[in-house]
């Protein structure tokens, strides 16, 4: 058999066999989109700080600042996607002997890939920053914990803040619960004796207060105080403060009501934060979806202009 050379590709097939993806144009568009996003976010941060004020009745409200921030993020996503997609379309190489519909598809694909690359880089950078901030906060917390307690009341306050939802409010409620009935002064000697006795019983009183704190913490987690705990608290209050049983019971009822009110406010704040986070996530997803569409359309426009101008 005689050797037959392979058939030569005609010019049309040779031109159509070129590379369909222009990674250089995609990376250039992604870099431009990321840089523009950083620029706009920095500008938005500066405008946000300029709009707020620590003084009362000055500056924009928290709701206005939050809504403005969401709108600015959406605008940033759209503008950066448009610029990145347009550059990807204008900078890609020309596809010769390719159908117009195929060219349009490739241009939109270039815009979508450009948007995807820019989004992945931004998400990675934000995740790294959040992780770094979280690690720094953890190290700062460990350093603060290493300093130890600075007194019995501060130690009790720390445990109160870690185990209940009320924090300082519950500490104040505990102080009010065991507040003694004021009595007329009986002379300097009696005052000195009272001070000495107070210093001697400080540890015992701290134990009583800690028990009240624990009951308040349990009420914060369960939502109510049992009758047994109410009676026990009333007996403690009557014994330590010198008030009548009825007055002690009124104090206990007011203390329990304050604990429940604090729990209700904490739950309301958590629910409001949950709704705000859900809305932010939905708006962000919609903005990203529209940003991907804008990047694709901008790339198609840029590619069309590139082919018109050769």
E strands along 17-120, which residues?
none
Q: CB count, 10 Å around CB of 300?
A: 22
Q: Which has more pLDDT, 296 or 277?
A: 296
Q: How confident is the model at residue 1 (pLDDT cuts 50, 70, 90)?
A: very low
Cα angle, residue 291 at apex, residues 289 and 292 outer, rounded to 5°: 65
| Residue 26 exposed, middle or buried by CB count within 10 Å (0-12, 13-18, 19+) | buried
**Strongest mean pLDDT among 195-199, 208-212, 243-247, 300-304:** 300-304
Q: What is the mean pLDDT of residues 272-290?
A: 87
Q: Which has more pLDDT, 54 or 251?
A: 251
Q: Which has more pLDDT, 287 or 172?
A: 287
Q: Model's pTM, two decimal places?
A: 0.61
Positive or negative: CA dihedral 108, 114, 117, 119: negative
Q: Are 288 and 280 in contact, with CB atoms under 8 Å apart? A: no
Q: What is the mean pLDDT of residues 150-176?
A: 47
Q: How confident is the model at residue 172 (pLDDT cuts 50, 70, 90)?
A: low
- Per residue in 106-142, pLDDT tens? 999 999 999 999 999 988 887 887 777 666 555 655 5
Mean of the per-residue pLDDT values of the chain: 75
Q: Where are the alpha helices (DSSP H) in 202-244?
A: 202-222, 227-241
Residue position matching structure tokens 């700080």 = 49
In whole angstroms, what is the distance from residue 85 CA to residue 115 CA?
A: 7
């Amino acid at each position: 058999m005689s050797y037959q050379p392979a058939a030569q590709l005609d010019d049309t097939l040779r031109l159509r066999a070129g590379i369909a993806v222009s990674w250089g144009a995609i990376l250039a568009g992604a870099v431009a989109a990321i840089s523009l996003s950083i620029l706009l976010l920095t500008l938005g941060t500066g405008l946000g700080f300029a709009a707020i004020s620590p003084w009362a009745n000055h500056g924009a409200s928290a709701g206005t600042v939050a809504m403005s921030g969401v709108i600015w993020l959406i605008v940033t996503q759209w503008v950066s996607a448009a610029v990145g997609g347009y550059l990807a379309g204008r900078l890609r190489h020309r596809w010769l002997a390719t159908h117009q519909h195929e060219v349009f598809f490739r241009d939109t694909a270039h815009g979508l890939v450009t948007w995807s690359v820019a989004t992945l880089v931004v998400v990675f950078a934000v995740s790294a920053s959040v992780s770094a901030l979280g690690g720094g906060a953890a190290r700062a917390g460990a350093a603060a914990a290493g300093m130890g307690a600075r007194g019995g009341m501060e130690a009790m306050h720390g445990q109160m803040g870690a185990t209940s939802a009320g924090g300082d409010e519950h500490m104040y409620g505990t102080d009010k619960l065991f507040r003694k009935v004021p009595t007329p002064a009986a002379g300097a000697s009696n005052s000195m004796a009272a001070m000495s006795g107070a210093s001697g019983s400080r540890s015992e009183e701290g134990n009583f207060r800690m028990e009240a704190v624990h009951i308040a913490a349990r009420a914060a987690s369960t939502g109510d105080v049992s009758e047994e705990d109410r009676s026990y608290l009333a007996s403690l209050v009557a014994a330590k403060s010198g008030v009548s049983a009825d007055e002690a019971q009124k104090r206990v009822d007011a203390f329990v009501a304050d604990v429940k009110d604090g729990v209700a406010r904490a739950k309301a704040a958590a629910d409001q934060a949950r709704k705000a986070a859900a809305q932010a996530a939905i708006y962000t997803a919609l903005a990203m979806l529209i940003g991907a569409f804008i990047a694709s359309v901008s790339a198609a426009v840029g590619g069309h202009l590139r082919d018109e101008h050769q």
